[in-house]
Amino acid sequence: MPQTETPVVLAARGLTRQYPGVRALDGVDLTLRAGEIHALLGENGAGKSTLINLLTGAQRRDGGTIIVDGMEIDPDGPGGAVRAGIAAVYQEITLLPNLSVAQNLYLGREPTRWGLVHRAAMNRDAGALLRRFGLAIDASRPLSDFSTAVQQLIAIARAVDLSAKVLILDEPTASLDTAEVQALFTLLRTLRDQGLAIVFVTHFLDQVYALTDRITVLRNGRLVGERRTADLPRLELVSMMLGKAPTAESHLARRPATSAGTGAPLVRAEGLGRRRLVGAFDADLHAGAVLGAAGLLGSGRTETALLLFGVETADQGQLMVDGKPVTLRSPRDAIRLGFGFCPEDRKLDGIVAGLSIRENIVLALQAKRGWWRRLSSAQQHELADRYIKLLDIRTPDAEKPIQLLSGGNQQKALLARWLATDPRLLILDEPTRGIDVGAHAEIVRLLEDLRDRGMALYVISSEIEEVAAYSDRVLVMRDRAPVGLLEGDSITPAAIVNAIAAEHHTGGAA
């Protein structure tokens, strides 16, 4: 490296963390230098959160070492990490709105006089501390009086005041507006110049290039690489994040272009959007065709599905079903129209963990029928057995709690839930996420089979190769707005990556 290297503050080597059935982090290295802002990037499930949790002591590592200033540390909680000089600030402000700003800053280490908290001194110190962070506010007021942006600066002031070596910022800009982002960046640059090592997690690539000196990319719990920001073109960065060299040929065969999706669409979204959620997008969903949606995390790809399924209500544009305008006010409306939705986070939004496979499968059909027309026990068993066989769900029997299945089999059970309702349109958000690589192909085959049977599919995925292989059209999203629609033979993994990475001025950073 031609540049002079600043001293290493934190060196993590071979960090590993195992969850039941998943290796969330697998031998990851991270090197933080004094006076540098280091971007930590990766898609959902890449292992960013796990890495941060290991550094801040929220979780214990199963393997690897963390060395701070030459000393190995093993934080067993936020306190231990703070003592070692590592503090984190999250997008979600983890301060206490019911306390005053000063109390938040000095909680647990309040200045005392005669055994009592010396409130005046505390407020005075807090005011002085905040002024160094560019905040001229009355620290005796409750935290809840201030905006998210100010609260975030207060959180940073607290973190730096507690432990001025490593500051981890997890998506700090996600709820800030442009001016607030600028103020935050100014502060971060000042802190960097004072010699702090800063970890910056974001999904706004513009901000990465505007602010950071170095980038570490994770993917599927593994380290993809560490590069200087200045030496890493945007296209290459996106390729690293999505795990696909933009020039390489796809190993998945793309099916020849068909006439599918040329007639009148089953569902058509015209300029559908919702303020602050996702910009207006068009989508045509045809029976027997797949519309793919590609984009990075935070690009608005999931939000399109939320609008199409009525989880969020659109405040602009029009949704047409069978050529007639409809308004979706809730998922119930969507289900009545014959839509189905497998959400991204199975554990959170999809499976009902404690219920059996059978109960999970019949859930949507039962909801569609209305609870007073209960499916008989025999019908339920018949349905469950049919789909377990049809989708090859590997389980000894239908009464096993669904949480005991592997990710791939849970995903199949979720698919079965919607297939049981015989949907016309099935929306899938990251259907292959968190599933063994072997099971990927199985899910993809299943989707293709459904398409061939005449179902309309809308598939959101960060697996670019898979999207390219099965889609008839691909909607590309970036910064919560559509940036392109690829059709027919123009759909290649390289073309999708190019569309995502194309340099466009966006408000996220500038």
Partner 1 sequence: MMGRLLNTRTLPLLATVVVFVLIYAVCAAQYPAMLGLRVLGNLLTDNAFLGILAVGMTVVVVAGGIDLSVGAVMGLTTVALARLIEGAGLPPLAAFALVLAGGALFGAGIGAAIHVLKAPAFIVTLTAMFLARGCALLISTDSIPIHTAGYDALAGAGLALPGGGRLTLVAGIMLLTFIGGGILLHGTRFGARVFALGGNAHFAQLMGINTRSTTILVHAFCSLMAALAGIVFSLYTRSGYALTGTGVELDAIAAVVIGGTLLTGGVGGVAGSFIGVLIQGLILTWITFDGTLSSWWTKIAIGALLFVFIAVQRLILLASTRYGRSGAGPGAPTTPHPAASTPVARSSAPGAAAPSAP
**Rule CB under 8 A: which residues touch partner 1?**
44, 78-79, 82, 91-99, 103-104, 107-108, 110, 112, 115-117, 141-142, 144-148, 151, 171, 173-178, 204, 275-279, 297-298, 300, 302-303, 306, 309, 311-312, 331, 341, 343-345, 348-349, 479-481, 505-508, 510
Q: Longest C-alpha distance within the chain, in Å?
A: 84
State which residue, 64 or 300, has the beta carbon closest to partner 1: 300
Instruction: Give the C-alpha distances (Å, rounded to integers) separating 246 from 39, 218, 250, 493, 496.
Output: 22, 18, 10, 7, 9
Q: How far is the CB of 177 from partner 1 (least distance, A)?
A: 5
Q: Where are the alpha helices (DSSP H) in 20-63?
A: 48-56
Check if the beta carbon of residue 73 is closer than 8 Å to that of residue 67. Answer: yes
Q: Which two tokens stand for residue 34?
A: 């004094």
Q: How far is the CB of 303 from partner 1 (least distance, A)?
A: 6
Cα Rg for the chain, rounded, in angstroms? 25
Which contacts (CB < 8 Å, 24+ apart) does range 438-445 have? 439/406, 439/407, 439/408, 439/411, 440/466, 442/392, 442/408, 443/408, 443/411, 443/412, 443/415, 444/252, 444/469, 444/470
Q: How far is the CB of 477 from partner 1 (least distance, A)?
A: 11
Q: How far is the CB of 271 from partner 1 (least distance, A)?
A: 15
State which residue, 278 or 405, has the beta carbon closest to partner 1: 278
State which residue, 147 or 327, has the beta carbon closest to partner 1: 147
Return d(Cα 408, Cα 393) in angstroms, integer.
9
The DSSP H or E segment spanning 440 is helix 437-452
Q: How far is the CB of 221 from partner 1 (least distance, A)?
A: 18
State which residue, 436 or 503, has the beta carbon closest to partner 1: 503
Q: How far is the CB of 118 from partner 1 (least distance, A)?
A: 10
State which residue, 75 or 265, has the beta carbon closest to partner 1: 75
State which residue, 27 or 331, has the beta carbon closest to partner 1: 331
State which residue, 204 or 470, has the beta carbon closest to partner 1: 204
State which residue, 196 or 205, has the beta carbon closest to partner 1: 205
Q: Which amino acid is at 82?
A: V
Instruction: Give the C-alpha distances (Å, rounded to integers) separating 104 from 85, 123, 141, 209, 380.
Output: 19, 11, 11, 33, 54
Q: How far is the CB of 358 from partner 1 (least distance, A)?
A: 23
3-state helix, strand, coil in the chain (%, to 5): 35, 25, 40
Closest CA to 124 of 109, 138, 141: 138
Q: How far is the CB of 300 from partner 1 (least distance, A)?
A: 7
Check if the beta carbon of residue 42 is closer than 8 Å to that of residue 50. Answer: no
State which residue, 348 or 378, has the beta carbon closest to partner 1: 348
Return d(Cα 86, Cα 367) in angstroms, integer.
48
Q: How far is the CB of 434 from partner 1 (least distance, A)?
A: 14
